[in-house]
Amino acid sequence: MLKVLLTGANGFLGQYINDHLIEKGYVVETIGRGVGNSISCDLSLQGPQLSDCPDLVIHCAGKAHFIPKSENEKKEFFDINVIGTKNLLNSLEQMPTRLKSFVFISSVAVYGKDEGSEINEETPLLANDPYGLSKIQAEHLILSWCKRKGVICTILRLPLLVGVNPPGNLGAMINGINRGYYFDVAGGRARKSVVLAEDVAMILPQVARIGGVYNLTDRYHPSFSELSSNIARQLGKKQPLNLPMWITKLMAKFGDFLGKYAPINSKKLDKITSDLTFDDQNAVNAFNWNPKPVLKGLKIN
């Protein structure tokens, strides 16, 4: 049985990964600040005390994406995503036996794109926000360390994650539809890449043996309208109303006047009305990536 060291097991994706590995008979040791971890450790402050070297490390811990409102909040991205990664690697460096594989859960945010279609792994990493920059720096640290140590390295760049009671923007959409204050904008035609957390968890043991850098999506890229219709149906609600573009443009102009904390402004409007999809053909070619379409796998409890 492979021994797996998993960081971020208490997070949204980490829970799926932990459950899947245990179900498949792997010996899983978890690192985190929360209750129930095998090793209690704040990676942003120090490296973990490891008793022996695992066969596989899955580094899922990280500061989730949000818009920072202060310099301290910006710094947290680098403390957790970069310094935390460095501390983990330093602890692994002390092990007498060699690690076989390292998987890092990264993000499509590294590309720094607000719009575009079928963006692939060869696209330059141009993120300039704290979250995207911290993920880029973490990727570079891991790639360099693994190359130096002869460790199989896998980096997975993920879009919006979908699962039971998801956090972030999808969770906000579900809550808005449930309470009746969500509206599709300009027909909700913009398509976004998404992926089911369970599909990512299931593929990890296989991709860890191969290595490489991969985007992962559900390969369909649903529109906002398709997602909102699916969610409304599951909640027993009516199809959300649509706000015409001319109305949202007026609201956005007013938001420009109010400042960056307005619910909507021209920049936010451009973002939610533009396609942003990613190409994962490399994953199909390398390990037969065959995910479930999110519209079929999305379940709301």
Check residue 110 and give its pLDDT. 98
Structure tokens belonging to residue 60? 């899922």
Check residue 1 and give its pLDDT. 60
In the predicted model, what is the mean pLDDT of the chain? 93
Check residue 264 and give its pLDDT. 81
Structure tokens belonging to residue 45? 């402050």
Q: Would you tell me how many other CB atoms lie within 10 Å of the CB of residue 45?
A: 11
Instruction: Please report the sign of the dihedral spanned by the C-alpha atoms of residue 126, residue 128, residue 130, residue 131.
Output: negative
Over range 66-80, report the average pLDDT.
Answer: 85
- The pLDDT confidence band at residue 260, using thresholds 50, 70 and 90, is low
Please give the torsion angle defined by the CA atoms of residues 10, 12, 15 and 20, in that order, rounded to the nearest 10 degrees.
-160
Over range 153-170, report the average pLDDT.
Answer: 93
Q: Catalytic residues, which ones? A: 131
Q: Is the pTM of this model over 0.85?
A: yes
SS3 category, 79? helix
Looking at domain 3-159+195-217+278-292, does it have CATH number 3.40.630.30? no
